[in-house]
Structure 1
């Protein structure tokens, strides 16, 4: 096996070539690109992405990105299209055909069939002066003069450029559709990403005990309530039932440092509590509650609605949900 001594320099050169090619795409974003976005928006149909080889793999990634950002899309392999998969195409669909050269045999077979169906074709390619480039309605110029490998053969720079251009297209469509966080959550319900977008405080606090004492509660009652409910804190409520404050483990430790002897027995919850504590509403997103805890260096936050204590959300709850 050949010993490579300049691995780091080779890797840096590859990344520089690909980064440069992606950067050069900026000057190729023109009226043609804008027309492609408008065509897809106004079509009323889906985006069908097709390709072969590495272009097919890139096409599947673009389809996944489009679907997850509000643009219905599906993938049709160029080789399978002539064996029945053309049946998936509907009259108002827009077809994006990906090919670096634009002259592969499968593409030359596919394009006339698409034109016979009557759908709009967008070419995503490097060589505009190719069969595909000449026969598409619009061209997204994914220009890649050279691949990153020394033989200029392995699809590297060209696939990177094509994926980047696909991302640009998807995000433009996202913006044009007014795609929101709520829409994104609808399509990404799984995993920690989904939970960050849809999990709310009201989904968490009912699973916890509700520690609560009155303003006149004794030190013994406070300690027993905090200990039994195991949240490291207790809420303090007024006679009216509205929240007066909160007492945490930290409040108790600070109080013990300030008082001694008989004075401890005379203390009530109102003497120890932190009035007007940091709180969240039940409809607040859990990730926002996490941000509050992290910014304030606290481990729990009280849930309040109309000045009444509903419960607590603890940092451990958010850890279990995978938000941390």
Structure 2
């Protein structure tokens, strides 16, 4: 009747074994039922019992409200980061030339790598072996030993200059138009992959960080701090892997290079391992092609004949 808007009443059936009464009613209500000695099939009408049930309902409603409020506060953190990422993604889609943006990513990655490896106050504390390993791992760049006598800024400038030279050489191989499509495709793939992983990391963080309330700490506050740190790590990873992939891009042979010039970016496949090993670009020969229309098949047959 209620679903159709007709007048009617609701009947509320409750057992002392229900979760509502078991968790929030307490033993007081059970003791009261024993004292009143109410029969199994008798209607219960008692002010104190009704009040106990009403209090139990209010307590569980209050708990559920607090849970929903807490969830909204967690989601506010996610929404702020989501808006930034979606804005960046829209910028990638609408920007015709991403080359300068990628150059900035490469520059920042080089700067971060140099600062991390050469973190000592004096040159005697600088770990050039670590720097060489990192540059080789990220960019497959062999650092010249002569750079060890240079300052940090000079090292950064020289490494960046060498990487940009290699980048431009790769662009010349396939042509500017094709390389612009490759840039956009790779940036979107890396961005989407890292964002999906970031959402998983935030979910795991939210599930575990609630335990901090037992240590008299505000889990929401800690979630915002740690979530921001994870977000910054994701941004750094996007910059690093985008530049790394494009600079380590390899075309297997001349025939593949010729084929690539006629392929859309959607036919490229992004592959990146956690160990930052060599990535590959697969061309349309290895990726399923769309089905040709009848008109296209007739034109192809005429060319073959």
TM (normalized to structure 2)? Answer: 0.25
TM (normalized to structure 1)? Answer: 0.24
Give the number of the structure whose residues are more often helix, by fraction: 2
